Copies of this chain bind each other. A is one copy, B any other.
Amino acid sequence: MRNKNKEYQYTNPPTMHDVAHVAGVSQMTVSRVLRGTGYVSDDVLKRVKDAAKSIGYVHNRLAGGMSKYDNPLIGVVVPSLQNRVFTEVLSGISDTLNKHNLRPVFGVSEYSQELEEEIVFDLLSWRPRGLILAGLEHTDGLRRIIEQTGVKTAEIMDIDGDALSASFGISQKEAGEQMAEYLLNKGYRNFAYIAWLDERAKKRFNAFKAYIENHGGVISQTRISQKLLSMKEGRELTAEVLSGSDRPEVIYYANDDLAAGGLMHCITENIKVPEDVALAGFNGLSFLEALPVQITTTKTPRYEIGVEAANWIINSQTDGKKPETYRFESKLIIGQTT
C-alpha cells in the first residue's frame, strides 16, 4: 500500500480510496485527515491534503451520511420569494447557517399547504437536521409526517396558534389590535382594509376588525387582491376604494408595499395625507424611509426571527418537550400618514 505511484488510475469521480492510494496511506487515514479527527502525523497530513487537491477529490456526503446520522442540511420552506418579508427571514437563516457550515435546501410553497406537504416530504428524504416552515397552518398529513419522523421543526412568522414544537414570530393578533387602538385614539372611525389574505394577514385583520367594531368604529370597505401584494396593486385598489361615495378616513393595508402604492396614488392625484385619507401599513420595510412621507406601520423583526429560528435548530434539544413559543415584539411606527 505504501506506493506513491502517481500514475494510479483512479475511478471517476475520485474516492477516498484513490486519494489514499496516491498518498500511500489507507482510506481511513484519508478520512481522518479530511475531517481533522484522530491522530495523524504532520507528514501524512500534508501528503494526504496534497493528494486530495492534486486529483480534485471532493468529499461525498451521500456516503458518509449513511453510516452516521448528523446531516448539515436544513430544510426550509417559504411561501414565496417575491415577498420581501420572506427573503429577509431567509437572509437571517442563511447567514446563521453559514456560520455553522450548514446548508439550506429549500422549496417555495406558493402559499399552498398541499405543495408544502409534498416539498417537506421530499426534503425529509435528505434526512435534514431540522426543518423551518412558515406559519402554523399545515395539512394533517404534514403534521403526521413531522411527528412520525420526529424531525426538529421551527415554525416562523406567527405564534397565535398551536406550534408543532417551536414557533418564532410576533403575535399577529396583538399587532392588529395595537394598530386599531392607535387609530381609534387618533379619532378615526371609518376604516377601509386592503389585503391579500395570507394566513398571517387574516389573523391580524380579524383582531383589528374586532377591536374597531367593539369600540365604535366601522370597516366600511375591504378589498382582497387575488394577485400578489405589490405597490402597483396597492395603488390600483386604493384608487378603487377612494372612488366610492363612502370615503374611508383611514386605509389599513396588509403590508407596506400596498400602503406605499396607496401613497403613490395620493401623491399623483393630489390627495392630502392624512387630511383627506390616512394610511397605515405593516412590516416596517426599510424602503419606507425613502418615501417623501413616512407611512405609519408596524415594524417586525424579520431578520432576527430567521436568525433565532436557525439557532434554535442548531442548538436546542427537543426530547419530548412541550411546544415552545419564541415571541418577538412588533413595534408601532408612527409616521406622517395618520
**Residues of chain A whose beta carbon lies under 8 Å from any beta carbon of chain B:** 13, 55-56, 58-63, 65-66, 71, 73, 81-82, 87-88, 90-91, 94-95, 98, 101, 103-108, 119, 121-127, 144-145, 148-150, 230-232, 234-235, 257, 260-261, 264, 267-268, 286-287, 289-292
Contact = CB atoms under 8 A, between A and B. Distances in A.
How many copies of this protein are present in the complex?
A: 2
Given A91-B108, A230-B286, A232-B286, 14 more contacts: A58-B124, A58-B145, A61-B125, A81-B94, A82-B91, A87-B87, A94-B106, A95-B108, A106-B106, A230-B290, A231-B291, A232-B287, A234-B290, A264-B291
A286 to B, nearest CB: 6
Contact of A107 (B103, B149, B260): B103
A126 B61 contact: yes
The 5 closest A-B pairs by CB, nearest first: A56-B148, A231-B290, A62-B65, A268-B292, A59-B125
A30 to B, nearest CB: 15
Tell me the interface secondary structure of chain A in the complex.
helix
B148 A232 contact: no
11 contacts: A56-B149, A61-B127, A62-B126, A73-B126, A81-B88, A81-B94, A94-B108, A95-B108, A101-B122, A231-B290, A260-B290
Nearest to A121: B58
Contacts of A104: 105-106
Contacts of A88: 81-82
Nearest to A94: B108
Contacts of A91: 81-82, 108
A183 to B, nearest CB: 24
Contacts of A289: 231-232
Contacts of A107: 94, 98, 103
